[in-house]
Structure 1
Amino acid sequence: MPLAHVSLPVTSLPASTAFYLSALNPLGYDVFMNLERAVGMTVKYDGPDFWLHQCPEMKDGEKGNGMHVAFKGSSKRVVREFYEAALKVGGKDNGPPGERTQYTKGYYAAYVLDLDGNNVECVYYQPWWLSALQVAPSVVGVVVVAGVAWWGGRAGWGL
């Protein structure tokens, strides 16, 4: 993935760290580095790709500046778990888990507003060709069984 990291400005570093640790737990995130005015998070065995930083211009209670960040989920279940976890720790619904066909078929996402009003997305995208590959063995199996039955009947096997 070409993106190295994303950093969000927050009004309360401890509160936002707790929020994101819970919301991103289904994706495997944990704290990688804890600095005085920033916290770096990552998935196990990787470098920090998500940072929170205390924004000196923001006072507690002020809302964010319309920042948006999207995390990649590994399944629809993980997207739902992210959404539920984020709501439990103070996130606000900004779009429940579901298919977003306005983007493309197979785009499944959920959106929450974090404690500072930043729009946080978790998305699972399964391209159409991957769905086709998952269904292909069943389709091929049916075609093979039907072909063997037809050929066996013509050969007098009494199938």
Structure 2
Amino acid sequence: MFDHIGIRSNSVETLETFFLRALAPLGVAVAMKGPHGAGLGKNGKPSLWIYQAAEPATPLHLAFTAERRSQVDAFYSSAIEAGGQDNGPPGLRPHYHPSYYSAFVISPEGHNVEVVCHQPEA
């Protein structure tokens, strides 16, 4: 449904670094960069814009799709190493549906970042 989303940041560099490390297992990289922020995405297309703002960022819940459960596990490890705080380790969440495998981490600016795989276990 979304083409891209933009989030405010008090420190674009800090949040960009966090998301690049946390989402590297999904193939996310810098797609565009300018004086006011950075666009992250896959295959050169920015899908997540991080832009500088003076006011505090409003925490969001951002969920990213993984093709494999191993990517969810790798996201969680990478995000914690990048300074994120645990908000739910990798595992099944059958209350959503039987194959909902996800992990949650709070970013340095308070965003609830989730990576989810909807595929049944291989």
**Pairwise TM-score range, normalised by the shorter structure:** over 0.9
Q: Quote the offset at 1:65 in angstroms.
A: 2.4
The SS at the match of 1:22 is helix
Q: Quote the offset at 1:95 in angstroms.
A: 0.6
Instruction: Quote the residue 1:20 is aligned against.
Output: 19
Kindly, what percent of the aligned residue pairs are identical? 36
Structure having the higher Rg: 1
Does the 8 Å contact 2:67/2:119 carry over to 1? Answer: no
Instruction: Quote the residue 2:47 is aligned against.
Output: 49
The SS at the match of 1:96 is coil
What TM-score does the superposition give when structure 2 sets the normalisation length? Answer: 0.93
Structure with greater contact order relative to length (CA < 8 Å, sep ≥ 6): 2
Does the 8 Å contact 2:41/2:47 carry over to 1? Answer: yes
Instruction: Quote the residue 1:98 is aligned against.
Output: 91
Instruction: Quote the residue 1:119 is aligned against.
Output: 112
The SS at the match of 1:48 is strand
State yes or no: 1:40 paired with 2:33. no
Q: Quote the offset at 1:35 in angstroms.
A: 1.3
Deviations 1:98-119 (A, max 9, x none): 0011111100000000010010
In 2: Cα distance, 1:36 partner to 1:67 partner? 23
- Higher strand proportion (structure 1 or 2): 2
Unaligned runs of 5+ in 2: none
**Number of paired residues?**
122
Stretches of 4+ aligned residues off by more than 6 angstroms: none
- Higher helix proportion (structure 1 or 2): 1
Q: Quote the offset at 1:11 in angstroms.
A: 1.5
Instruction: Quote the residue 2:29 is aligned against.
Output: 30
2:76 to 83, 106, 109: 83
The SS at the match of 1:95 is coil
Deviations 1:5-27 (A, max 9, x none): 12222221111111111101000
Does the 8 Å contact 2:93/2:100 carry over to 1? Answer: yes
In 1: Cα distance, 2:95 partner to 2:6 partner? 27
AA aligned opposite 1:31: V
Mean CA deviation greater in 64-73 or 110-119: 64-73
What TM-score does the superposition give when structure 1 sets the normalisation length? Answer: 0.72
The SS at the match of 2:16 is helix
